[in-house]
Amino acid sequence: MGKPIRDTLLPYGRQSIDEKDVQSVVDVLRSDWLTTGPMVETFEQEIARFVGARFAVAVSSGTAALHAAMNAISIGPGDEVILPPMTFCATANAVLFCGGTPVFADVDANTLLIDPHDVEAKITPQTKAIVPVDYAGQPCDYDALHTIAERHSIPLITDACHSLGAEYKGKQVGTLADVTVFSFHPVKHITSGEGGMVVTDDPELAANVRRFRNHGIAMEHWQRAERGTWYYEMTDLGFNYRITDFQCALGLSQLQKLPLWIKRRREIAQYYDGVFYQNSVIHPLSRRADVSHAYHLYVTRLEIEQLHTTRAKVFTSLRDEGIGVNVHYIPVHLHPYYKERFNTGPGLCPVAEAAYESIISLPMFHGMTDEDAEDVVSAMRTIVSRYQ
């Protein structure tokens, strides 16, 4: 096949760490607080300010944030939570952690965002929440979702692990649901190594998440130190989901760069859009007119019937060219755990299942150069013409 387009693999996503990030972490390591110190609170305040919400509570991962959110709205055995299958398994797992039952609503074929019509169809008297996922970084149809949630008096808890910095009808992600969850894993927009955030305007939900991340204890260690008391009360059953001060220092330092990084992601997306516009085989997912997309992922659909090959072969051929494509996601209800425990399987969400057969995520991260993006495009063109 000749020389690959790239000698080293261009990943689908990657963090950027500069000297300022390093210094901010080192400064904390030299300070008095390694965990639950002033950086945690500052990071929380800055995220709350950035998204325009009243409260933000930092935890050890996006998964912990989802678990804390499900706990805060009292999900328990017998409760159903509606969510899309086109997501990372943690979205559904968080419902299971609380003893609830995930109910999968299918996605819209053009955007792969949860389909409000199917949400409505899946509502039962047991439904206790809707958890939309802003897949790839594009906000869902929040007007439609709010209408359904209000009609049934249930909360909207958004998994916004892809959509930090996105907007829907001019409103920031973080203000579009009762609770919003973010992740700071290294492939996400900004990173703290591992880390997550729960954002809400509701003081009681925020207080609940604060206790939950700290064993269900009402007072945090630094507050006790400040008041010079040994006394504390455990009032709920919680976990140790705390995040360290040096992780929050990294997150804070990264946050300063977020607006520029989102701008860069949009530039790359615009370039891909322009190249694949009207391509007969490669179709970028549709973008809603009323949103500002944060492009955690750039997902394309292959018209695989037009090629003498399979999606798997296209995938490995691109990898062989040094292009680190990926597939987001295997629909959650097709994982063995869900199939065996909940009797889910093919046919439950046909749109998501069909999409899964044809999607491919192209490299998309703020540190990509123009040349990186051009390599992706030329590899796509080479592979498609090889099999056409």
Ligand X SMILES: *Cc1c(COP(=O)(O)O)cnc(C)c1O
Degrees, nearest 5: CA angle 249-254-258? 145
DSSP 3-64: S-S-SS-B-S------HHHHHHHHHHHTSS-SBSSHHHHHHHHHHHHHHT-SEEEEES-HHH
Is residue 156 a contact point for ligand X (CB under 6 A)? no
Q: Which of residues 189-208 bind ligand X (CB under 6 A)?
A: 196
Residue 232 CA: distances (Å) to CA of 212, 235, 241, 279: 15, 10, 18, 63
Degrees, nearest 5: CA angle 179-185-186? 145
Nearest distance from C-beta of residue 62 to ligand X, angstroms: 2
* Burial of residue 46 (number of CB atoms within 10 Å: 0-12, 13-18, 19+): middle
Nearest distance from C-beta of residue 1 to ligand X, angstroms: 33
By beta carbon distance, the residue nearest ligand X is 62
Nearest distance from C-beta of residue 359 to ligand X, angstroms: 15
Nearer to ligand X, 62 or 238 (CB): 62
The residue written with tokens 């950027």 in the block is: 16
Catalytic residue among 20, 122, 188, 257: 188
- Establish whether 188 is a catalytic residue: yes
Report the distance separating Cα 221 and Cα 364, nearest Å.
40
Instruction: Determine how β-strand 101-104 pairs with β-strand 80-83.
Output: parallel
Nearest distance from C-beta of residue 181 to ligand X, angstroms: 7
Stretch that binds ligand X, among 33-41, 83-91, 102-110, 281-289 (CB under 6 A): 83-91
Nearer to ligand X, 91 or 292 (CB): 91
Nearer to ligand X, 161 or 351 (CB): 161
DSSP 106-122: -B-TTT-SB-HHHHHHH
Mention every residue, 6+ apart, whose C-beta is less than 8 A from residue 311. 302, 304, 357, 358, 360
Stretch that binds ligand X, among 4-12, 47-55, 71-79, 155-163 (CB under 6 A): 155-163
Nearer to ligand X, 92 or 373 (CB): 92
Is residue 161 a contact point for ligand X (CB under 6 A)? yes
Q: Which of 13, 62, 324, 331 binds ligand X (CB under 6 A)?
A: 62
Radius of gyration of the chain (CA): 21
Is residue 92 a contact point for ligand X (CB under 6 A)? no
Nearest distance from C-beta of residue 183 to ligand X, angstroms: 3
Q: At what angle do helices 245-255 and 19-29 cross, to 10 degrees?
A: 150
Site string for ligand X, 278-317 (x = CB under 6 A): ----------------------------------------
Is residue 164 a contact point for ligand X (CB under 6 A)? no
Is residue 63 a contact point for ligand X (CB under 6 A)? yes
Instruction: Name the residues that contact ligand X, by CB under 6 A.
Output: 61-63, 87-88, 90-91, 133, 159, 161-162, 183, 185, 196
Q: Which residue numbers are catalytic? A: 188
